[in-house]
Structure 1
Amino acid sequence: MSRLRDELWQVVAGIYDQVLAHPFLTGLTDGSLPREAFRHYVVQEAHFLPDYARAQAACAARAPEAAAVRRFARDAVTTVEVEHSLVVELLAAFGLGETEARNLPAAPTTVGYASYLVRNCALGTFPEALGALLPCYMIYARVGEALLARSSPDPLYAWWIETYGGEGYQETTAGALDLLDELTPGPGERERMLDRALTTARYEWLFWDAAWRREGWPCG
């Protein structure tokens, strides 16, 4: 019998391939990505990450076992302390403070993605919350691992790659996936979990594409 992580990855693998081939990510590794596109990405991360941490905390509240409560509560703290700190430092490289960045508009994709995660983790079952959250873990870990082998001639981009390709993030993802494999979804929960995973994977692609396009609201 296949592991749940394998089933989930089978759902999102095609989108991951499209993510890896996206010009935003190929531009990170060859150094050709316009700095303004990366700036847009970092500003949107400043908007997104607090809600991502809220989604992780809500997932912890849904967890039926103490190990999963500890995992996602700890991951929420890590998001705030590690990933958010990276964003603050990257903003500084663009001459932006966090408050200044958060006064810039959150793009439509950022609002939609964050809202989708928080809603599913706060209101869904634990399997639905996992389905919503884990593609982000898995895709970032695999992107980081793939890009780490190439690195980047741009030190700012290389710094970002090292964060997600490094041992710490890989271990975090592995721990979350171990919990997934221990799960026994109830009737209909497996299908709903995989459905949430597909939507989240699509949002992952959209988030990088929005940065590439420097997405804004089409109306005032």
Structure 2
Amino acid sequence: MSAPRDPRGGLFGALTAACGADWRAYVGHPFVRGLADGSLPERCFRHYLAQDYLFLLHYSRAWSLAVVKSDRLDDLRQSAALVDLLLNHEIALHVDFCGGWGLDETALAATPEAPANRLYTRYVMDRGLAGDLLDLLVALAPCGLGYAEIGRRLLADPATKREGNPYLPWIELYGGAEFQEGAAAMAAQLDRVAGRRGLTPPWDGSARWPSISDTFATAVRLEVGFWDMGLAPPA
């Protein structure tokens, strides 16, 4: 199997560089460090898993909006394929994974949505509804591409605890070749759509740069809030 490709570079790389402190707070969050060394309390991870199930439902809706916003066949196909993957495969895999932690789909569906979850997912939908496909893809990017970076880094880091780490399967999922390939395709779509709208390097020279960089940075901060939420399960 070939090595997973790194999706950094292009517009995604420029966006992460522009919000460097926020990005580092996201990918190096204490929740992430707890996954890496296995020290994350189980109740925090269970809380995160339940909220992530609800997040995936909204993430699927947002990618469905990407289908509506697409005006080229390649973007229609890629967005539609991701909706199918999310609804018919990824959510089922998530439910199976949660089952290993004692959470069945009935319990997941009945979980009250945390404010941080609601704030993040509604922001992404708002950017997609108010803007065009590029605005939506920029708002979606921190999730898929951020998890890919986290998974890739933790999987490659010799300091990541392997033996006896209950969170190793999570790390292997997001650091694995399949997820990495999907992230690379997402980054390529972001560049493709940006180019069709006149955005080319140097990215910050575009009239749209202030808007899209603000959207990306806001979504990154909302990802940090999602990790914060995970560390604060209800009593």
Fold-level match, TM-score > 0.5? yes
Q: Does 1:41 align with 2:48?
A: yes
Q: Deviations over 1:4-34 (max 9, x none)?
A: 2332221344323212332211111111110
Question: Which of 173, 179, 194 is the equivalent residue of 2:213?
Answer: 194
Which residue is equivalent to 1:58?
Answer: 65
> Cα 1:17–1:215, aligned 2, differ >3 Å: closer, same or farther?
farther
Query: Once the 2 structures are TM-superposed, how far is the Cα of residue 77 of structure 1 from its aligned partner?
Result: 1.9
Instruction: Report the Cα offset of residue 148 of structure 1.
Output: 1.0
The question of whether the paired residues in 2 share the 8 Å contact of 1:59 and 1:129 is answered with: yes
User: Aligned pairs, how many?
Assistant: 215
Q: Give me the whole-angstrom Cα distance separating, in 2, the residues matched to 1:215 and 1:200.
A: 24
Q: Distance in 2 between matches of 1:215 and 1:116?
A: 23
Cross-structure match for 2:129: 122
Q: Which residue of 1 aligns with 2:107?
A: 100
1:113 partner letter: Y
* 1:80 CA displacement: 2.5
The structure with the greater share of residues assigned to helix is: 1
Q: How does the TM-score come out when normalised to structure 1?
A: 0.89
TM-score (norm 2): 0.83
Alignment match, 1:214:
233
Q: For residues 107-131 of structure 1, what are the alpha-carbon distances to aligned partners after superposition, in whole Å with 9 as ceiling and x for unaligned? A: 1001111111122223321111111
Give per-residue Cα distances to partners, 1:34-59, cap 9 Å, x unaligned: 00000000000111101101101111
Alignment of 1:85-164 (within 5 A): 85-149=92-156, 150=160, 152-154=162-164, 156-164=166-174
How big is the shift at 1:167?
A: 0.6
SS of residue paired to 1:213: coil
1:181 is matched with which residue?
191
Change (3 A) 1:18 1:152: farther
Opposite residue 107 of structure 2, the aligned amino acid is E
The root-mean-square deviation of aligned C-alpha atoms, in Å, is: 2.1
Aligned AA (1:198): A
**Quick one: which of 18, 29, 43 aligns to 2:25?**
18
CA distance in 2, matches of 1:191, 1:64: 24
Structure-2 residue corresponding to 1:70: 77
Cα distance in structure 2, aligned partners of 1:153 and 1:73:
39
Q: Residue 127 and residue 106 in structure 1: after superposition, are their counterparts in 2 closer, same or farther (change >3 A)?
A: same
Counterpart CA distance in 1 for 2:233 and 2:84 is 29
Shift of 1:174: 0.7
Task: List per-residue Cα deviations over 1:47-89 (Å, max 9, x = no partner).
Answer: 1101101101111221222111111221122222343223212
